[in-house]
Chain A
Amino acid sequence: DAKTTQPPSMDCAEGRAANLPCNHSTISGNEYVYWYRQIHSQGPQYIIHGLKNNETNEMASLIITEDRKSSTLILPHATLRDTAVYYCIVRPYNTDKLIFGTGTRLQVFP
């Protein structure tokens, strides 16, 4: 299974863009990249996913490099409510299981 590597923590000023990196150098061609986040004391929440192309939704943008070995989740205008642990996950093509790592703790400050 492809592993992901994320920095343990990051800070971001409120109103600025938060760019959360993820390395997945062993990803296979048909494996999706998913991002979830977990706000304190709640279950994780789906944010976005992608395969090859960049994706955008109402919550965030996902930028996947051309070689697919890394990706970046972008929160365009971070708010205090975006303070959470963010998980980058690669889903193996032959299973519906999602294996979470330890994620990146994003702290948005005023």
Chain B
Amino acid sequence: DVKVTQSSRYLVKRTGEKVFLECVQDMDHENMFWYRQDPGLGLRLIYFSYDVKMKEKGDIPEGYSVSREKKERFSLILESASTNQTSMYLCASSYRGSGANVLTFGAGSRLTVL
């Protein structure tokens, strides 16, 4: 079964800490995505990568960076975590450029910043 695996289901960090959220997919997908989900706001796209070492900003990239050194792995980095980054973070992947752009999501990482 195809899988998108997010390394941590729950994290608790302190304000100012550097936080890494890891995502790995085993489907040889070119595209990978990071979304955050907050009550009443739905899913918002943070960053998108369409190839190794390539990235594109989504709607809310401020306070985040990403790394895509290998095709299967896409990392979301919070350089200095703040309380307003407390959220559910969802990683997804898909094939590039196909008519049926079907995203496969991971289970999510719930981050709490104290």
Seen from chain A, the residues whose Cβ lies within 8 Å of a Cβ on chain B are 32, 34, 36, 41-46, 49, 51, 87, 91, 96-103
Contacts and interface: CB of A to CB of B under 8 A. Distances in A.
Interface stretch (B11-19, B64-72, B79-87, B90-98): B90-98
A91 B101 contact: yes
Nearest to A85: B42
Contact of B107 (A42, A91, A103): A42
Contacts of A51: 99
In terms of DSSP, what is the predominant structure of the interface of chain A?
Answer: loop
B11 to A, nearest CB: 16
B100 A49 contact: yes
Interface string B40-73: 1111110010100000101100000000000000
Contact of B59 (A42, A99, A102, A103): A99
B92 A96 contact: no
B114 interface: no
Nearest to A36: B103
A34 B94 CA distance: 14
Contacts of A103: 42
A47 B50 CA distance: 23
A43 to B, nearest CB: 3
Nearest to A51: B99
Contacts, number: 58
Nearest to B41: A102
Given A32-B101, A44-B103, A91-B101, A100 B43 contact: yes
Given A49-B100, A97-B58, A101-B42, A43 B31 contact: no
A98 B101 contact: yes
B82 to A, nearest CB: 23
B35 A96 contact: no
B108 A43 contact: yes
Contact of A97 (B40, B41, B48): B48
B58 to A, nearest CB: 7
B90 A96 contact: no
A4 to B, nearest CB: 11
A51 B96 CA distance: 18
